[in-house]
């Protein structure tokens, strides 16, 4: 696991100056937060760009959106990232949303301009950057997206903007996320995207699918060891197809393990983590993370 490896001083950059009174503070608001790789990514970015700032992880468990945004203003955090459920609960208490964030109904990045909080969403664009970097031709890809939560909706919007050839999105019709999905599709107005009930996975012609994306929590946390697709479904995919997961803890979800056993190309959520972080870093600083060093460290294909 990358966070257990010995750091190579020739590949990583560390700030020469100590933290002082002028140091800006950024952070992750999540529950739990201790496992996150975000502090490593952003602190490398500050060091590489000689920015006097530090990024910390804050456990937000038990606090509502009003309390979190009040804390941002009171403590004068320069910016933050958010995980669920905070991506959605802070929305009513932000001063401004970017068009994508408003469309998705969730933010993962907040910039604090002297108490004026601007919410953005870099998840979907970060995920698509990972696809493009891996050589996926979205213009000619027929995609199955599993889930319609905040991460899935962000990915859906980014795939639509990338003019993906065909996109089928699966979510249980009884879920509130299905309603959000339908509202999003109405706003996008793209005929190549269809919303389908989870039960309709049995009707998919898997031989006509090029890319599978799991944006559910099946394979993570209490659901570790579960897979949204059965081995028999994955076996029907063409050998040129690839299977992606937003999960990176564990590094290989059960879905990816099954897909790999079928000889399919697999990718975990580390690429999304890195590229969405780079986009957030640009929002805050106008600079990039040291992507080459971090790609090597995270072993992103």
Q: What backbone torsions phi and psi does residue 166 show, to the nearest 5 degrees?
A: -150, 140
- For residue 181, the surrounding DSSP H or E stretch is helix 176-188
Mind giving me the DSSP string for 7-30? Answer: P-TTT----SSPP-TT-EEEEEEE
Cα Rg of the chain (Å, integer): 19
Distance CA 148, CA 175 (A): 9
Do residues 262 and 234 make contact, with C-beta atoms less than 8 angstroms apart? yes
Looking at 87, 111, 299, 301, which residue is catalytic?
87
8 Å CB contact between 103 and 127: no
Are 274 and 291 a contacting pair, CB within 8 Å?
A: yes
Give a three-class secondary structure readout of 124-164. Answer: HHHHHHHHHHCCCCHHHCEEEEECCCHHHHHHHHHHHHCCC
Answer yes or no: are the C-beta atoms of 243 and 266 closer than 8 Å. yes
How far is it, in rounded angstroms, from Cα 201 to Cα 252?
23
CB of 83 closer than 8 Å to CB of 68:
no
- Our answer to whether residue 24 is catalytic in this structure is no
Return the closest-CA partner of residue 236 out of 200, 197, 262, 267: 262
Q: Show which residues are catalytic.
A: 87
């Amino acid at each position: 696991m990358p966070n257990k490896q010995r750091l190579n001083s020739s590949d990583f950059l560390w700030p020469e100056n100590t933290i002082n009174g002028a140091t800006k503070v950024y952070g992750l608001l999540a529950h739990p937060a201790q496992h996150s790789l975000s502090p490593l990514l952003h602190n490398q970015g500050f060091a590489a760009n000689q920015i006097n700032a530090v990024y910390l992880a804050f456990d937000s468990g038990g606090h509502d959106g009003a309390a979190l945004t009040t804390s941002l203003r009171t403590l004068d955090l320069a910016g933050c990232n958010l995980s669920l459920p905070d991506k959605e609960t802070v929305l009513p208490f932000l001063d401004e949303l970017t068009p994508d964030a408003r469309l998705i109904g969730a933010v993962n990045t907040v910039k604090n301009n002297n108490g004026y909080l601007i919410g953005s969403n870099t998840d979907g664009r970060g995920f698509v950057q990972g696809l493009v970097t891996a050589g996926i031709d979205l213009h000619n890809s027929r995609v199955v997206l599993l889930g319609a939560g905040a991460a899935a909706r962000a990915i859906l919007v980014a795939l639509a903007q990338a003019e993906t050839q065909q996109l089928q999105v699966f979510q249980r019709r009884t879920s509130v996320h299905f309603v959000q999905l339908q509202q999003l599709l109405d706003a996008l107005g793209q005929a190549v995207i269809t919303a389908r009930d989870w039960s309709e996975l049995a009707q998919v012609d898997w031989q006509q699918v090029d890319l599978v994306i799991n944006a559910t929590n099946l394979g993570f946390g209490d659901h570790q060891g579960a897979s949204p697709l059965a081995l028999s479904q994955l076996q029907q995919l063409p050998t040129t197809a690839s299977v992606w997961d937003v999960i990176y803890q564990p590094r290989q979800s059960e879905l990816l393990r099954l897909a790999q056993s079928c000889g399919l190309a697999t990718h975990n959520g580390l690429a999304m983590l890195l590229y969405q972080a780079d986009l957030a870093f640009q929002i805050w600083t106008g600079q990039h993370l040291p992507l080459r060093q971090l790609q090597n460290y995270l072993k992103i294909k």
